[in-house]
Structure 1
Amino acid sequence: MKVVDIHSHFFPKSWEDLSLKFGGLPHGGDWPWLRHAGDGKAMLMRGEQEFRPIYSACWDPQVRLEEMARDGVDKQIISATPILFAYEKPVAQALYCAQLFNDAALEICAAGQGKLFAMAQVPLQDADTACEEVSRAKKNGHVGVQIGNHVGLKNMDDSAVLTFLQHCAEQDIAVFVHPWDMMASERTKDYMMGWTVGMPAETQLSIVSLILGGGFDRLSDKLKICFAHGGGSFAFLLGRLENAWLHRDIARGKSEHPPSHYLDRFYLDTAVFDGDALQFLIKKMGEDRLMFGTDYPFPLGEQQMGQLIKTTPGLTEATRQKLLASNAESFFGV
């Protein structure tokens, strides 16, 4: 079977000191940088604070290709980690970062023997600039764009975000929505709950806001949009959302139809790490709306890439192939 991983992350091995460039202080403020420890290991830093340990698969295409071959992954689509988005920065600075890391992603892919593809990032805090950068990125070879699920307090139904999504629909640019800057940070600061609780909650919020905010009613049905991490808790709580829509006017928001009406307007990745959850997603979303994603090469990603789909009982071979590759090949044009 062919295997295409749509959800994997990268970092360049190094990049210029953004704190020095924009603030005049080396590694000051909260700009990200890598502190290398040798032996292919590094610590991702945010200013002077340690953020996450990473290793050479993030920046070395040879290591990535070796690990893909180990697990039988034919193609991988790489995207930035949300810490690089810079949505909270001035637009000019965020654009500079987007172009810096978009170009770096293409450099990694150029050494990927035709097996690596890149999604771009954009300064989503300004719709016009974001549209210009995503069009530039597509011309340069990016196969899609990754965006965060909110910009400050603006959810996915914000008019500027919808303007950007409509641009992507018109330009046939695939969109991948990744949670970031998680809610309730003080209450989820321990035990990695920001990642295990906050990220799924953010993803559910982004889907629900796009539905109830009337986003899908306003956007072209040509938009190709996928949400990370199996959509968080969206599928499991769809019944609650539907019940509220049917019985409380205030819960309907601006949407013209019940939430279940919109299930054919978006995709989810399969990074759920549990066979029962995967079977439930297939039942709710359908086998044509799911794409294989690992969150590689991070510790919270799927450690044996592809094993969940390959070993979950009850799936036909045709279904496994759709989830592992066919849907992604069509969605991203790879």
Structure 2
Amino acid sequence: MTSLIDIHTHYVPRGWPDVSAEGGPEAPWLRIESEREAMIMMGTREFRRIQSDCWDAGVRLADMDADGVGIQVVSPTPGFFNYGRTGEQSARIARIFNDLALDIVAPAPDRLIPFCQVPLQDTDLACAELDRCLANGHRGVEIGNHVGDRDLDSEGVVTFLQHCADRGVPVFVHPWDMASSPRLDRWMAQWLTAMPAETHLSILSMVLGGVFDRIDERLKICFAHGGGSFAFWLGRMENAWHGRNDVIGTSQFPPSHYLGRFHVDSVVFDERALRLLVDTVGPDRVMVGSDYPYPLGERPVGEVVRKSDFLDDTTRARITHENAQAFLGI
């Protein structure tokens, strides 16, 4: 089998300059605990324990070889987006992390493809940072699925997405900043329920908010985690659009009309879920993703795709690498 292309992985640099002036009391920094382990800190709060696979290309490449992965897209960790800061503060932080990302992928530029982050709360600054990163070697951009209460159908975000379409830049949408409550703060419920719901809401906003009607069809956009709960609830969206079109969004067509306008990754962990995903969005719209190197990711990468009996060789090849080649322009 041709090597996999993994569309969904993350990095964290092994340290960065002090950004407390830009990030305030919750500014991110890295508490190094050993050569192989560190703790991401948000001010005085422990955010996530990580290991050297976040920053060490050698470790990353060894894991890729073990899993049969030929190419990884290496994207930011969403906790560093800083959309709650001013655009200028977020832009300065984005520049630091984007430049450090290039150092991480430098040992294997043919196998590690960097995606940048941008200050999405400020459209002009976001477009400027994207252009700077493209000139420096980044190949795409990862964005969060919302900016505060603004969803992906807000005018500023739509303008940025059109900017990406104009430049042929692939966009990876990742959920972040999930709501917190006593019900969601136990059992990792934010990750198990809120994260899939956030991704579903992102696709919903682009469909019912009329984004796909307004934006260039050249836009290449992929949603993480199998598109969240979207595939399972498409029928409910469709029924609502026909039954209550007076209150359901502004899209010109029912939700199913837009299925060819976006991609999703495959990290759904179960053959039954993958079958529904492929049947719903189409075999040319699913790409292998793993969420490497975090504990809720899939290892070995692409295992469900490899082992799913319902996939024939042609469809499996699309999902493992051909769709990603087209998405990334490889």
TM-score per shorter chain, which class?
over 0.9
Which structure 1 segments of 5+ residues have no match? none
Determine whether 1:322 maps to 2:318.
Answer: yes
Distance 1:44 1:184 in 2: 19
From 57, 71, 74, the counterpart of 1:75: 71
Letter in 1 for 2:319: L
Letter in 2 for 1:11: V
Deviation of 1:251 after TM superposition, in Å, equals 3.9
Determine whether 1:219 maps to 2:219.
Answer: no
Q: Deviations over 1:94-149 (max 9, x none)?
A: 11111111111111111125210110100000111101111111121111100000
Letter in 2 for 1:204: H
CA contact (8 A) 1:185 1:194 kept: no
Provide runs of 4+ in structure 1 moved above 6 Å: none
Give SS of 2:25's match. Answer: coil
* Residues 98 and 22 of structure 1: CA distance in aligned 2, closer, same or farther (over 3 Å): closer
CA contact (8 A) 1:183 1:202 kept: no
Deviation of 1:190 after TM superposition, in Å, equals 1.1
Partner of 1:4: 5
Alignment of 1:193-208 (within 5 A): 193-208=189-204
Partner of 1:108: 104
Letter in 2 for 1:250: D
Distance 1:144 1:168 in 2: 9
Partner of 1:142: 138
* Residues 150 and 22 of structure 1: CA distance in aligned 2, closer, same or farther (over 3 Å): closer
Distance 2:181 2:300 in 1: 30
Letter in 1 for 2:143: I
Partner of 1:250: 246
Letter in 1 for 2:9: S
Deviation of 1:68 after TM superposition, in Å, equals 0.6
Q: Deviations over 1:30-60 (max 9, x none)?
A: 1111111114011111111111111000000
Deviation of 1:162 after TM superposition, in Å, equals 0.3
Distance 1:220 1:185 in 2: 38
Which structure 2 segments of 5+ residues have no match? none
Partner of 1:13: 14
Letter in 2 for 1:75: I
Partner of 1:273: 269
Give the TM-score normalised by the residue count of structure 1: 0.96
Give SS of 1:74's match. Answer: strand
Distance 2:233 2:246 in 1: 18
Partner of 2:149: 153
Partner of 1:263: 259
The count of aligned residue pairs is 329
CA contact (8 A) 2:174 2:224 kept: yes
Deviation of 1:22 after TM superposition, in Å, equals 3.5
Distance 2:245 2:313 in 1: 43
Determine whether 1:97 maps to 2:93.
Answer: yes
Partner of 1:127: 123
Determine whether 1:286 maps to 2:287.
Answer: no
Distance 1:98 1:230 in 2: 26
Determine whether 1:299 maps to 2:295.
Answer: yes
CA contact (8 A) 1:36 1:42 kept: yes
CA contact (8 A) 1:214 1:254 kept: yes
Q: Deviations over 1:272-329 (max 9, x none)?
A: 1111100111111111001110000000000211211101112111111111111111
CA contact (8 A) 2:22 2:90 kept: no
From 186, 198, 211, the counterpart of 1:190: 186
Identity %: 50
Give SS of 2:231's match. Answer: coil
